[in-house]
């Protein structure tokens, strides 16, 4: 957990809350979809200090994170009400478009309601791993791309590295 996020929970006032923002994009989408989970007015935020303000609209969203915030193998399961009629057309554009092999990207940012100039924590570049939709909502799983797809890394086992026995 990073220092800014820890300070938020340890030092915050009662009227300050965290804002969870989801951004879904693909080169073939007609729009980039930006949704905030817990501010029914929508919110203007900056992705980094000095960048322009970006609007996240409010839609009912459920976000489930796997593991700890600092975990490199992070996955999100997100359910968004209100996009069930829109996203099927967008996914059709992906299949028929110029980039059918590129997976849609999911960015997740957490802001403090008293500082919308930079996120306290973020997960960027997650890829869509599975989608289910109906006319009311869309649910998807987003996960970090596999960094070692060539499987060139070493597997540590006690047979090969006997010095690890003391660490176990």
Domain count, the chain: 1
Size of the chain, expressed as the number of residues it contains: 168
Q: What's the distance, CA 106 to chain centroid?
A: 5
The pair of structure tokens assigned to 82 is 């209100």
Q: Which residues are CB-contacts of 150 (< 8 A; sequence separation ≥ 6)? A: none
| Distance between CA atoms of residues 57 and 87, nearest Å | 16
> Which of 79-88, 121-130, 149-158 bottoms out in mean pLDDT, i.e. has the lowest?
149-158
Instruction: Give the rounded distance of the alpha carbon of 54 from its chain centre.
Output: 16
94-121 pLDDT, tens digit per residue, is: 889 898 889 999 999 999 988 899 998 8
Structural domain boundaries enclosing 9: 3-166
Highest averaged pLDDT of the listed ranges 6-15, 23-32, 138-147: 23-32
Percent of the chain with pLDDT over 70: 74
């Amino acid at each position: 957990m990073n220092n800014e996020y820890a300070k938020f929970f340890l030092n915050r006032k009662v009227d300050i809350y965290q804002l969870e923002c989801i951004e879904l994009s693909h080169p073939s989408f007609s729009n980039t979809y930006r949704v905030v989970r817990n501010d029914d007015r929508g919110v203007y935020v900056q992705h980094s200090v000095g960048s322009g303000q970006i609007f996240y609209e409010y839609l009912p969203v459920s976000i489930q994170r796997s593991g700890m915030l600092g975990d490199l193998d992070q996955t999100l399961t997100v359910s968004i009400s209100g996009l069930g009629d829109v996203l099927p057309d967008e996914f059709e554009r992906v299949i028929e478009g110029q980039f059918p092999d590129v997976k849609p990207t999911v960015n997740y940012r957490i802001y403090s309601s008293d500082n919308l100039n930079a996120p306290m924590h973020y997960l960027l570049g997650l890829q869509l791993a599975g989608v289910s939709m109906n006319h009311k909502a869309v649910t998807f799983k987003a996960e970090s791309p596999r960094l070692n797809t060539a499987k060139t890394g070493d597997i540590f086992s006690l047979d090969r590295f006997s010095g690890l026995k003391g660490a176990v």
